[in-house]
Amino acid sequence: MKSIYVLLFLSLLLLFSCKTMKNDEKIKEAFKEDSVALVKMVRDRAIAREKHDIIAELSQFSDDATFINSDGLLLPNKKAIENHLKESNASGDSSETFEIKLSEIQPPTGVLLYRNFKGRWIDLCDQYTAGNIKIRIIDKNNALVYYPWRIDSFLRSNPKDTIISEIGLMTLSAQRRNDQWFWIAITNQHTPEYFNDLDKHIRNR
């Protein structure tokens, strides 16, 4: 009689273990799918940044998103983020490098990518590069995303001549809402140098 109970217990234990393994596999598969989706969001964001596509970039933000840009400026909601992006695109950049004063001077009519660089308008193009993306899945609805970035600006007439290079690290907090991922908080920071892989730019102690 005792052996029957032992066999029953072992059978139940085996059944529970099998179910646990299947659940673990489902969780790993779900995390993998989420990671792929988040990587795609970063890639789409990079394309939108390079094309100055504000609509595409804003579509990834939640309405209550916050953004701290590389100058330490807090943008407390989606509307503030939108206004900042519009100002950045109008001037070409939010930094003081370009010395933009739109109230005093405007670029040539019909040209969107002209910049005021040290007192003169020059025809610049941007190349936005996102490095290797590091994903940290916290749970099924929350994740952290990190990636290094750089913006190289160059003369349209001479693409090999890089005039300005801006580099930094992006930290994004993502949250799933109604089965869709959104950025709910972003912190952008300048870094002294560009590193393509955050995992190789690490301090162990």
Confidence at residue 125, expressed as pLDDT on a 0 to 100 scale: 72
Phi, psi of 88, deg, nearest 5: -65, -45
Distance CA 132, CA 178 (A): 28
Q: By the 8 A CB rule, do 117 and 130 touch?
A: no
Of the listed ranges 49-58, 70-79, 109-118, 189-198, the least confidently predicted one is 109-118
pLDDT at 51: 81
CA atoms within 13 A on the CB side of 76: 0
Q: What is the chain's mean pLDDT, rounded? A: 75
Which pLDDT value is given to residue 189? 94
Between 30 and 54, where is the model more confident? 54
Q: How confident is the model at residue 102 (pLDDT cuts 50, 70, 90)?
A: very low
Report, as an integer, the average pLDDT of 89-104. 39
What is the structure's pLDDT at 94?
37
- Report the DSSP beta bridge partners of residue 125: 154
Distance in angstroms (rounded) separating the CA atoms of residues 139 and 189 = 26
The type of residue at 167 is I
Q: What pLDDT sits at residue 21? A: 52
130, 145 Cβ separation under 8 angstroms: no
**Between 109 and 101, the higher pLDDT residue:** 109
Helix, strand, or coil here: 107?
Answer: coil
* pLDDT the model gives residue 23: 53
Question: What number of other Cβ atoms are within 10 A of residue 182's Cβ?
Answer: 19
* Phi and psi angles of residue 84, each rounded to the nearest 5 degrees, phi first: -65, -45
Contact 122, 114 (CB under 8 A): yes
The predicted model gives 167-176 an average pLDDT of 95
Reported pTM:
0.69
